[in-house]
Each structure stands twice: as C-alpha cells, then as structure tokens.
A and B are shown apart, each in its own frame.
Chain A
Amino acid sequence: MNSQPPEYQLSDEGSAASSLVLSGDWIQGQDPANFSQLKSELSSVSPTSLTADGSSLGAWDSELMDFLLQCHDYCRAQEIAFATRNMPQGIEKLLAVATAVEARPQPGQDSPSRPLSFNPLHALHDAIGDLQESLAFTGEVTIALARLARGKANTRLSDFKKFCYQAGPDAFAIISLTSVLVGMILGYLGAVQLQQLGAGIYVANLVVIGMLREMGVLMTAVVMAGRTGAAYAAQLGTMQTNDEIDAITTMGISPVEFLVLPRMLALIVIMPLLTIYANLLGIIGGGIVAGGLGISPLQYMLQGETALAFNHVLVGLLKSLVFATLIAVAGCRAGMNSGRSSSAVGQAATNAVVTALVYLIVADAAINILFQQLGL
C-alpha cells in the first residue's frame, strides 16, 4: 500500500477568508501534521473565516478528526468562523457529535489533582490533618469505651474472641521466628564486644535486659503493625466500600463500638501475652549463641537470672499495652476513614502501617526517656 503523508495548504480566498485544503492520508503510522504550526500561520494571517476543504483527501481516521477538532476549538476561541466543505459524510457527522457539547472548563473544580512532586507545605498539611483525624478518632473510641464500661455498648463478645484468635494463635509462627532471631542477633552483637574484654558471660545479661525491656516488645509490635494493623485497615476499608459501615450506622449501632472496640481490645489483651512469649523465645535464641561461645546452658541461665529484675518485665509489658493501643488506633482509623474505592483500601492499609510504625518509634523513645528520668 502506498500512502501519502498528510498535508495541508492554507490559502487566502480574499476578503479575509482562508481555506485549508487537506490532502494525503491522515492515518495512524503517518507523520502527523503539526497543529501548532498551523496555529502560528493562522495567527499571522488572522482571517475572519476558515473553511476546511476535503476534496483531495485520501484515507483518514482519528488522526484527522483530532486535527479538525483542534482547528474548530482554536477558531471558536479566536472567533473565526469555521466551516467544512467537500468532506466525507463520516467526518461531518463525527465533527458534529464531537462539538455538540461544549468542553468543560479545564481547571476542574471538584477534583484538583495534585502534581507528583514533593511539597513540604502539603506534607505538613497532610500530617496535621492526620493528627487531627487521629485525635478525633481517639475521642470517639474513648466515648465508646466509657459506654462499654457502663455495659451499654453494642460490642459483641463473639467478635472479641474471634479477633483474639486472629491476633494471637494465628501470629505464633511469625512471632516465634522473629523473636528467636532477634535474640540471636542481640547475642552475637554483645558477644563480639564482650569477648574482647573477656566478659563473654555477660551476653546473658545483655540478651535478657535487651529482650525484656526493648526488643521483645518492639519486634512484636512491628510484626503486629504489619500483620494485624494493616488487616484491620483493609477489613474496615472494604466494609466502607461495600456500604457495610453505613448499614451498621443506620441500624442504630455505633460502628466504633461494634467494629473498632472488639479489634482494639483483642489486640490490647493479646499483645502482652505475645510479648511474654517473644521474650522467652528471644532469651532462648540468645542462649543458642552463648552455647556457640562455650557458655553452657546452666551458666547462661544462672547469669541471666542475675540480670532478671521485675521492673524490666514490667517496662516491657507496659510498653506492649501502649503499642497495642497505638497499632489498633492507627489501623482502625485508617480503615474507618478510608475512601470508597479499591485503591483507597490499599492506601488505608499502607497508611495504617506507616502511621503505626511512626507512633511506635516515637512512643518507645518517649517511654524510655520517661523511665530513664524516673530511674526505673
């Protein structure tokens, strides 16, 4: 097939009228004619009317329509009378359809899309909005808790049990793996330094205190934020898309009491238990490393016992309660405030994990500073 490149010829027809003669094949695969070039030609001629002539036109498809529509829009904007002649019937009809409804003014009022660039002001604005949302949500949760304490809340025990199971026994495998490994990492870290001083036996102290006060609870919280916090956000977000939260509200039930409280309380009950379990396994992990250094299990246990103090255990458990609340608030808030589309649910899950991790680190630092000052 031998096709001609698309071309146009702008010519003056006298008394400020111009004609635009189109020729060649205006189809995909040909070099498209450049409208901006025609635009500059038109603005130098500035005619009062423009007639597009299709008498010598070859094959055509959307490429031509696009060009003609741009001509039409430009002429309308410049108040030039635009007409066509000798065009194939299809073009006339398509042009009539395409120009029937006036284009919506470009700056869309209802959905201002944000450019894909980083703007610190926007980021700050978002962060403040997030914080406000979190505070409002915390308030709602507090009210719901007060109603629960008075026995008036619509929170179901069966839901609570189900979420306890999901947060607890279901998480055993991954918690086991991470805590043994974290215990071993702590052990190696200490062993390398302590053996230089001939104090290898103190690995036990390091692992016991490290796990109880810090790593056991923090690693459990990180795993639970990714596992359970994100799941809460996704569950609630999907319920939002599916009108289920509306259905609960219009049934006269508070969604916070019915959906958020059981999830949150389950996590608050389960997290300390998981933390104790993680601490134990972490200490065993440290023991494995100590064994590799020639410290017998009995030595490790006896030495570890000297480091074991009740306030270390207490600090870890207190942290686990705080962390559980933060993870549940971050996850449930992201889910309850999720938009109503599948991408919004994904965003809610991401948001839940990111917020939870930030909360965790900040809270951990704050608690450590507080206890340092209190001398605990």
Chain B
Amino acid sequence: MTDASIPQVQIEIRDVTMAYGANVIQRDLNFTINRGDIFVIMGGSGCGKSTLLKHMLGLIPPSSGDVLYDGKSFFQASAAEQGAMRQRWGITYQSGGLFSAMTLEQNIALPLELYTQYTPVEIADIVAYKLALVGLAGYQTYYPSAISGGMQKRAALARAIALDPDILFFDEPSAGLDPISSRLLDELIVQIKESMGATVVMVTHELPSIFAIATNSVYLDNISRTMIAYGNPTELRDHSPQPVVRQFLTRAAAAAIEDKP
C-alpha cells in the first residue's frame, strides 16, 4: 500500500526477521501503520503474532530489521529516548499484566505518579474516572486476584489509558472472554480510541473483533513464514488472492490446508 499521505505513517516495521536461535519464525516483514488506524496483527496459533508485538514494544530486539516510530528507530534510540517513546504507549498484555501486589487504584496511579505532576488527590480522581470508563467504578481497593478475568482485562485497559497515550497495544484483548464481554470490550476499545484519537495495534484471532473494529491488518502465515496479506480485513476476506487468508477470515473448513503446530 503506497499511499501518497506518507506523513500519516506512525509505525513502520522494516525488514523484520524474528527467530528463536536458528529457528526462524517470520522473515522479511515490511508494513506500516497509519495514525488513527485500528490495526490487527492476525494469523494462526504459533505464527509469531505475540513475538512481533514484543519486537514492536522493544522488549526483545528482532534478529534483524528495525521498528520505527514517527520515522525514528526504536532500537537505535538512547535509553532516555526509548523511555520518552514508551510514555506515549498504553499496553495490555495477554495475561493482563496488572501488578498483583498492588490494588487496582495503585496499578492505575503508578504511571500517573511517575510521569505527571498531579497531587495525590487529583490522581485519585483520575483513577476513579479511568475505572468508571471501563465499568469498574468503586473497585479501587480490589487486588487483581480478587476480580474475574474479564474485569482484569478491563482494569488493564484502564491502566493502559491512564496517561492518554498516542498508541494503544493490545495482546489478545478478548481471549478467554465470553462473547458478550468480548463484544463490550471491543466497543470500549473503539469508543476510547475515537475519543482520544489514538492508534490501536491489536494481536488477535477473534474474527468478530477483527471485522467489527479493524481498519487495517496484516496476516502472518506460519507455513511460508512471512506476511502474505496486508489491508482491510473485510476486503481481504472477499478479495484476497491468498486462499489461506480467505479461509482464515471466513473460518472455512481447512480442506487444503494443514495446520502445523
């Protein structure tokens, strides 16, 4: 997709190859994510979606290639610049990633205490507001282990949006949730994204979520070990030249395809 509006590009994945030791998971990944997109990274289990997200978050450097934010390489930036970039991100992890030794209030207050000049009273107010946004008003003093999995995911979302980030990353936000909670979470993501104008990057293989909210996507194939589709998921479903992608998106019986572990 060579669009004329290049300044819109916010994140660029350039020649990224991911490998564990000699075992290459994905190679030659090249794509861009535009400002304001809800971008979905999809693919079958074990194709490296979560690993790609870890590269994008700078947790593990890729075997080769680079990730650029607003044209600036993350892995070549200094520690201070990396810290500044990270302050503009909000992230929820597959297992939530809430700090289990802290209450929900302390969890959400932590980034505010670190990066803002608010007084403790103001922070308490902001925490109450963020918890109310995700439907958890009044749960300030609960520990993550005392609430359900769906509530943990929402609390993690509240922490991710604590600093009104530019980019939101979600690793399988609705995995393990029932269809209703999962839909509510999707709606919540769209609402928050629209009201804050953030870019959303999501790893998921939940088809309803993908069609409901994604504006752009990339498909990582675990047989050819590279990306084989890039574009709006609805268009990919109807017009992708790759049968694998159409099958994935229509959940068709995998007659011609073997799902390798």
Contacts and interface: CB of A to CB of B under 8 A. Distances in A.
Nearest to A242: B95
Interface of B: 20-23, 54, 57-59, 82-84, 86-87, 89, 91, 93-101, 110-111, 114-115, 258, 260
Interface in A97-122: 100-101, 109-110
A154 B37 CA distance: 33
A239 B99 CA distance: 8
B93 A110 contact: no
A250 B86 contact: yes
Nearest to B144: A242
B169 to A, nearest CB: 8
B86 A243 contact: no
A243 B97 contact: yes
Contact of A250 (B59, B100, B114): B59
A370 B131 CA distance: 59
Nearest to B156: A247
17 contacts: A100-B258, A154-B114, A239-B100, A242-B96, A244-B97, A244-B98, A244-B100, A246-B97, A248-B99, A249-B59, A250-B57, A250-B89, A251-B86, A252-B83, A252-B86, A252-B87, A253-B114
Given A110-B23, A243-B93, A252-B82, 5 more contacts: A154-B114, A246-B57, A246-B97, A247-B98, A252-B114
Interface string A209-251: 0000000000000000000000000010011011110111111
Contacts of B82: 252
Given A101-B258, A109-B23, A250 B58 contact: yes
B20 A110 contact: yes
A246 B23 contact: no
Contacts of B95: 241-243
A238 B97 CA distance: 11
A101 B260 CA distance: 8
Contact of A242 (B20, B89, B91, B97): B97
A110 B258 contact: no
A247 B114 CA distance: 14
Contacts of B99: 239, 244, 247-248
